[in-house]
Amino acid sequence: MTLREVGEVEPVVIIAIVEDRPGVLYKVSSIIRRAGVNIDAITVARTVEDGVSRMTFLINTTRGKAEYLARQIEKVPTVIAVGWHLLKDVHSLEVMLARISLGDDRHDRRELALLAKTLSLKILEETANNMVVAAVGSPEEVERVIELLMSKFKILDLARSGPTALTEVGRAWPESF
């Protein structure tokens, strides 16, 4: 099988250590676009090294295509290192913020406070009509929190960061040669 052939589509994380300068995200994401792969989530932030950022892409694709994409990204001059992993194989966390409508119901407020305690949600803001809560967890955990919140309350606004993962990157390709 060459790198682009069909296989099972799975959630994959591509991590790129890149130079922190304009145009790098454009070039890297353009490689993913050219392959016809949709990006489910991206996180980008600085690393401990000056001028170096870490990009984490969550995509749904085959292992062959993930390998193809990683190698294409690796050859971009402003990319320092690349790695890819199945989402299920890495420790990944994401942040979720939700504004929940409470209306006049005191029962609601109590229930949400209780739920926040059980689920370790952080309460960021409380007003007369709504409450902003934050959760940190694996993408599945965040998914479950959202489902639970939706089943009991009205979510006015929701923001998810997409996962970021701390894993080894470099030339250690899963399918090495």
Partner 1 sequence: MSLSGAEAIVKTLERLGVRVVFGIPGGSILPLYDALYSSDIRHILGRHEQQVAHMADGYARASGKPGVCLATSGPGATNLVTGLATAYMDSSPVVAITGQVARPLIGKDAFQEADIVGIVTPITKHAIQVLSAREVPRAIITAFTIATTRRPGPVLVDVPVDVQREVLSEAYEGLATDTIDVKGYNPMPPKPSYDSIKKAARVLEAAERPVILAGGGVVWSGASRELLDLAELLGAPVATTLMGKGAIPEDHPLALGMIGMHGKAHANYAVAECDVLLAVGVRFSDRTTGRVESFAEQAFKIHVDIDASEINKNVKVDLPIVGDAKEVLRLLVSELVRGLKGGSNEAWHRRIRELKETYVESSSEEPHCKLKPSRVVRMLNEVFAPGSLVVTTGVGQNQMWAAQHYIAHSPRTFITSGGLGTMGFGLPAAIGAKIACPNKTVVDIDGDGSFLMTVQSLATSVTENVPVIALVLNNNALGMVRQWQYIMYGGRFIASDLKGVPDLVALTRSFGVEGVRVETYEELRRALREATTSEVTTVIDVPIPQDEKVFPMVLPGRALREVLLHDPTRGR
Residues within the interface to partner 1 (CB under 8 A)? 1-4, 18-19, 22-23, 26-27, 30, 34, 51-52, 67-68, 71-72, 74-81, 177
Minimum Å gap between C-beta 58 and partner 1 is: 22
Taking the least distance from each CB to partner 1, the nearer of 38 and 151 is 38
Taking the least distance from each CB to partner 1, the nearer of 117 and 171 is 171
In angstroms, what is the C-alpha Rg of the chain? 19
Find the length of the chain.
177
Taking the least distance from each CB to partner 1, the nearer of 4 and 88 is 4
- DSSP secondary structure, 55-72, as one string: EEEEEEE-HHHHHHHHHH
Minimum Å gap between C-beta 77 and partner 1 is: 4
Taking the least distance from each CB to partner 1, the nearer of 30 and 120 is 30
Please name every residue paired with 99 in a beta bridge, in sequence order, or none if there are none.
132, 157
Phi first, then psi: give them for residue 22, nearest 5 degrees. -60, 140
Minimum Å gap between C-beta 171 and partner 1 is: 8
Residues 155, 149: Cα–Cα separation, whole Å: 7
